[in-house]
Amino acid sequence: MLCQNCGKKEATTHIKQIFGGEMSENHLCRDCASHLGYGDMLPGFGLNISQLLSGFAGDFDLPAPARETLRCPKCGASFGEIVSTGNVGCSECYHTFYERLLPIIEQTHGKSRHTPSHSSPVKEKEKTKEEKIAALRLEMSSAVSREDFETAAALRDQIKTLEGGETQ
């Protein structure tokens, strides 16, 4: 389906809205969605994340046999089902498929760690240098993809510093 706004690109964002007393569904491409203020996939507006999930599945998936057999012990969902529907099945899914969901979470929020509001500070595990660099790279690529070059440049410098420390 083509985007209703530009009529050129493939529509990936589907928005349910009420207009003129009728329910209407709007189909927009990623650029137009972002331009019109829907780029954030705000839930409650029926935006579909399965496109995004599918886009990532190829890069981050486990080898085929593991993909076939691995199911969430609590709800029975496979990663493939989560990808095709855009819906996570239960709280345990986040544990079972954590590594594969993480890039999606990164892509959506630009971050991958919760900042709790209450006094209980989250005790962050000490990461190895490789983990730190990997995390920074991920953050950098998502900064680039949202055209936040300032952040990307700062992250690149951080990565350089870390990598530089290694050679010394």
Partner 1 sequence: MTKWYNTVGEAGDIVLSTGIRLVRNIEDFVFPCRLDSEGRQKVSQLVRDIVFDAFPDEFCYIETDTLTYMQRLSMAERNIISPEFAGRDDKNGLILSSDENTGIMLCEQDHIRLQTIMPGLCPEQAYEYAGKIDKAIAEKVKYAYSDSIGYLTQSPSDLGTAMRCSVMLHLPALSDMGRLPRLARSIRSLGFSIRPVYGVHSRTPGDFYSVSNRITLGIDEKTAVNNLKSITSHIAAQEHNAASLLIEDEAWQDRIFRAYGILSTARLLSYEEFMQLISIVRFGSATGVIDVPLEKTNMLIIGGQPATLSVIKGVDDTSTSRNAARAKMVREVIRER
Give residues in contact with partner 1 (CB under 8 A).
4-5, 16-24, 26, 28, 32, 36-47, 49, 74-77, 85-91, 94-95, 101, 104-105, 108-117, 122-123, 148
Rounded distance, CA 78 to CA 69, Å? 8
Strands (E), the chain: 13-19, 22-28
Rounded distance, CA 79 to CA 68, Å? 9
In the complex with Zn ion, which residue's Cβ is closer, 31 or 162? 31
In the complex with Zn ion, which residue's Cβ is closer, 39 or 46? 39
In the complex with Zn ion, which residue's Cβ is closer, 24 or 161? 24
Give residues in contact with Zn ion (CB under 5 A).
3, 5-6, 9, 29, 32, 72, 74-75, 77, 89-90, 92-93
Q: Residue 29: which of partner 1, Zn ion, none does it interact with, CB under 5 to 8 A by kind? A: Zn ion
Q: For residue 58, how many other CB atoms are within 10 A of its CB?
A: 7
> Which H or E run includes 160?
helix 149-167
